[in-house]
Amino acid sequence: MSIRAATAVSEKTYDGRGAGVDVARRVKAELPLAARSVAIVFAAIDVDLPGLLAGIRSELDIPLIGCTTYGEATAEGYTEQSVTLLVLTSDDAELGIGLGEGLLARGNAAVTEAWAAASKSLTSPPKLVIAFPDAALSGVGEVVVKALLDVTEGAIPIIGGCPGDGGRFKSTHQLFGDRVVTDSVPLLLIGGNVSARVVTRTGWKPVGLRGTATRAEGPRLFEIDDKPAIKFMERYIAGSDVDDPEVLGNYPIAVFPEDNNATNDKFILRSAFFSDRATGSITYGAPIPQGAAVQLGRAFRDNVIDSASEAAREVLTDGPPACILFASCGGRKLVLGAKVTREVEALRETVGTQIPICGFYSYGELGPYDSRSADTRTTRYHNCTLVLCALG
């Protein structure tokens, strides 16, 4: 197999450096490194991140990218307040990392900067792009996706997720080499003798009345049908609960194409982050187009778990991969509640115990509906979605 992978997890997060050494040594013991290798790290927001990177790099002198999360997972299961490490290694794959900074202010330029830096290590176009942009809390997820589609000309699968901060919704971090940064977009490009299959699934369905976004400014939705957006949500959520981000996060909206006659299977979910009583507005994870049809999105635990199993079955149709990489939305975690462990268990039950799995719970997801088909391979910016990539 062209590319090989191994994962490790540590919950010794009271000692960032020690956790880094721990996961690095465990991976080294399992995975002899080939000519080219890269590390992908997911970590809880409270970990000593500089210490963590120093610990990993003291054992593994290889390129590294990653981010903070809303929860971490490997084939060993779901964890919180932990560190996970995925190492990819190959003799004939090409691996390049790049970083673009000042994402909020520079947008396209930051993405282009990261792309240019990562491309230097490749001699041919990549087969997969992995991105962890700090885009959710600033509402620029769609800007990042558009910029990536421009540089890839829409021909390369793009996957990833926006970093989290444990559900605080204040500030996230990205990891790049020995640096801890924010407001940035780290990229990993994978090329050479590799293949990637990407699918996304939600488990959500639109329910209730459909309205029109009659006043929206970027990610802030002020009015639906000329009435405060909060009033629309109070049809489904008890009044005071609209002010609680963790409750509000259970109730995304489905955003449809340009007219109210759009069918129920063509929509993008947008997670709600904050409400503002003074203006009657709700801030979502990405811009809501003014004039778009909107409807409440609803899912139950079994729907979410079933969508994970379905996605895993789909990516395995091309044969067993070297590893499974995923990003799952924090909104899915909120719906699953105490059964959040079941999503990763569903993945593991479907792909088996021999294939490494590594992923995290994010604030926004990047991926196509299905990268194998021309009709569904365009990458989009999602919420409440599971993005699953089989790399082989």
Compute the C-alpha angle 108/114/117, nearest 5°: 135
Residue among 6, 67, 76 at smallest CA distance from 344 = 76
Give per-residue burial for 288-311: e unless 16+ CB within 10 Å, then b. Answer: beeebbbbbbbbebebbbebbbbb
Residue type, 14: Y
CA separation for the pair 58, 42 (Å, rounded): 18
pLDDT of residue 264: 52
pLDDT of residue 120: 96
pLDDT of residue 262: 44
pTM of structure: 0.92
pLDDT of residue 255: 93
CB count, 10 Å around CB of 23? 29
pLDDT of residue 261: 47
Residue among 62, 71, 9 at smallest CA distance from 33 = 62
DSSP result, 229-261:
HHHHHTTTS-GGGGG-HHHHTT--EEE-SSSTT
Helices (H), 316-373: 330-336, 341-351
Q: Residue ranges of the chain with pLDDT lower than 70?
A: 1, 257-265
